[in-house]
Chain A
């Protein structure tokens, strides 16, 4: 088993890695070993371990993924609807560095839901550097959900590159509960007229966890739309960062783009940063961004307590209610219920800790 080579890692001095824990990562501590990957559903549409897909490699983690990737390709031919969600589960081992790559090709007027779960066995740190590459052809419809539930010692640094062509409909959801440091960089590009993208995320960091999101909504065609809602909570000494950028290019007139990021700080020592940005290079657009960081609303807490709900229970209800707006928009089915329960369980666990 080979150790991961020395990587020319970026530094937290670089703007795009600002606030990150990149300076504390030692890649040579991990051995290259593919995660245990299982795929449920999608028979006839899924190929494992074969892709010549070339992706843009925005940084060293995508490069190393290209070098060591283990690939799952989902290809849905034109006009085809895959009825049941395809569920891809990666489980990595302690001490391992794994590089899952998922390639989704959604044909013209085709439709598919893909749920990708990242888990890791406990018992030591692991490094997971996944890449998602999705291309949605004209009038194609992709619903994608990534669930991060890796071990509390694990590092995950991922990329998502999603391109939607004319009149396509793309929905990218993220639920992040795990990891010592979990970072996802998402580039969602509307490349064809009339395409629309919706992104939602829920993240909840506790203890010494850190969740770090860099999201670009890139409008590269006229009359495209994107809507983003990221909601997070930090507890204990946990940290989170949301940095979002809406780019509307010169020719993307008639575009509507929105980003909203809301964060709850549940402990004195917890820290969340929210940095929404706009880069608008044309007129005739509708654009807005909103971001908040703060504790639970005193009035909401008082309202519930004045009904006789004890403080810990009131806080739990308010936090779950805060996340409900995202949970409500996940692909329906058992996963949504399971995640709702997982969030509640994590909240209960943390509530019991000093």
Chain B
């Protein structure tokens, strides 16, 4: 069993504090949802845990099975068992998914098998067309195809803990269902149950992916945690109950009215 422990995490972007003391623990087989309004720090949380450049951790710790994640470069975090499913998967021209998977498995000491066959099987499972396997990564793919591609990689690499950053953005309902089901299966895997930290703005994802715990992130802090019913409360009442109402949202680049939160 694995355990990702985020403890008292503070982080700044361009000198501005976005995360202001986040505590969160995700274990194998658990599905956690982190919800919050725009600018709450959701994407910052995923970026900091994965080690994206431009974010500075000013206090706190992140450990995976006791190992200091923040001391590792990004690729070692992935090899150690963390995986980030990106909100906007980057297009990498001229680089085929197959080649990336070979290198990613090689760094994990697992490239000996039939990578191509494995890819083909996983692609079929997630409804990702086989002809896309040799296409440049994420180039000329629709939003739904990109997220199927992300989920396919998750299934190939079999991390211990996955962070899904807005998996539900930019994809149609069929793709959402296919991706959610695959994540659900991975988290129920008997041998290596995946721990999931699903970051989401809407609870659309949570109708497909059943969370064990829901956390509300507001202005860089978890302000409430509960069961799946918390998401339902949110849908009815918005984030107003969790905010003081007078402080501006953090990192306001996308700040919008709270009333808009559940409009699709």
Whether B95 pairs with A307 at a CB distance below 8 angstroms is no
Instruction: Report which of B73, B91, B100 forms a contact with A307, defined as CB distance below 8 A.
Output: B100
By beta carbon, the residue of chain B nearest A316 is B103
Binary contact readout B73-85 vs A (1 if CB under 8 angstroms, 0 otherwise):
1110011000110
Q: How large is the interface on B (under 10, 10 to 19, 20 to 34, 35 or more residues)?
A: 20 to 34
Known contacts A307-B100, A308-B107; A302 and B52 CB within 8 A of each other: yes
Q: Contacts of A302 on B, CB cut-off 8 Å? A: 52-53, 74, 90
By beta carbon, the residue of chain B nearest A327 is B94
Complex Cα gap A305–B80 (Å): 13
Least CB distance, A314 to chain B, in whole angstroms: 7
Binary contact readout B86-122 vs A (1 if CB under 8 angstroms, 0 otherwise):
1001111111000111011001100000000000000
Q: How large is the interface on A (under 10, 10 to 19, 20 to 34, 35 or more residues)?
A: 20 to 34
Provide the main secondary structure of the chain B interface.
mixed
Complex Cα gap A320–B92 (Å): 11
Least CB distance, A56 to chain B, in whole angstroms: 37
Instruction: Report which of A299, A305, A322 forms a contact with B73, defined as CB distance below 8 A.
Output: A305
A45 within 8 A of B: no
By beta carbon, the residue of chain B nearest A299 is B90
Complex Cα gap A323–B89 (Å): 21
Instruction: Report which of A309, A320, A324 forms a contact with B107, defined as CB distance below 8 A.
Output: A309
A6 within 8 A of B: no
Complex Cα gap A299–B78 (Å): 16
Known contacts A308-B157, A317-B99; A303 and B86 CB within 8 A of each other: yes
Whether B153 pairs with A308 at a CB distance below 8 angstroms is no
Which A284-331 residues sit within 8 Å CB-CB of chain B? 297-300, 302-311, 313-314, 317-318, 320-325
Whether A318 pairs with B95 at a CB distance below 8 angstroms is yes
B176 within 8 A of A: no
Whether B92 pairs with A307 at a CB distance below 8 angstroms is no
By beta carbon, the residue of chain A nearest B81 is A308
Which B1-56 residues sit within 8 Å CB-CB of chain A? 50, 52-53
B137 within 8 A of A: yes
Instruction: Report which of A299, A309, A317 forms a contact with B75, defined as CB distance below 8 A.
Output: A309
Least CB distance, A104 to chain B, in whole angstroms: 31
Known contacts A299-B90, A303-B90; A309 and B100 CB within 8 A of each other: yes
Whether A325 pairs with B93 at a CB distance below 8 angstroms is yes
Whether B137 pairs with A308 at a CB distance below 8 angstroms is no
Least CB distance, B97 to chain A, in whole angstroms: 10
Instruction: Report which of B84, B94, B103 forms a contact with A309, defined as CB distance below 8 A.
Output: B103
Complex Cα gap A39–B205 (Å): 64
Known contacts A298-B53, A313-B103; A305 and B75 CB within 8 A of each other: yes
By beta carbon, the residue of chain A nearest B90 is A303
Whether B75 pairs with A314 at a CB distance below 8 angstroms is yes
Known contacts A298-B53, A311-B73, A313-B103; A306 and B78 CB within 8 A of each other: yes
By beta carbon, the residue of chain B nearest A304 is B100
Whether A311 pairs with B75 at a CB distance below 8 angstroms is yes
Q: Contacts of B83 on A, CB cut-off 8 Å? A: 306-307
Whether B73 pairs with A308 at a CB distance below 8 angstroms is no
Whether A305 pairs with B74 at a CB distance below 8 angstroms is yes
Whether B92 pairs with A318 at a CB distance below 8 angstroms is yes
Q: Contacts of A310 on B, CB cut-off 8 Å? A: 75, 103, 107
Q: Contacts of A323 on B, CB cut-off 8 Å? A: 94
The 9 closest A-B pairs by CB, nearest first: A321-B94, A324-B94, A308-B78, A321-B95, A303-B90, A305-B74, A307-B104, A305-B75, A308-B104
- Apart from the given pairs A304-B100, A317-B92, 16 other A-B contacts in the complex at a CB distance below 8 Å: A297-B90, A303-B89, A303-B137, A304-B92, A305-B74, A306-B84, A308-B75, A308-B78, A310-B75, A311-B75, A313-B103, A314-B103, A321-B94, A324-B94, A324-B136, A325-B93
Interchain Cβ contacts under 8 Å between A and B, 23 examples = A297-B90, A299-B90, A300-B90, A302-B53, A304-B92, A304-B95, A305-B74, A305-B78, A306-B75, A306-B78, A308-B75, A308-B107, A308-B108, A308-B157, A309-B103, A309-B104, A309-B107, A310-B75, A317-B92, A317-B95, A322-B94, A324-B136, A325-B94
Could you tell me which A residues sit within 8 Å of B by CB distance? 297-300, 302-311, 313-314, 317-318, 320-325
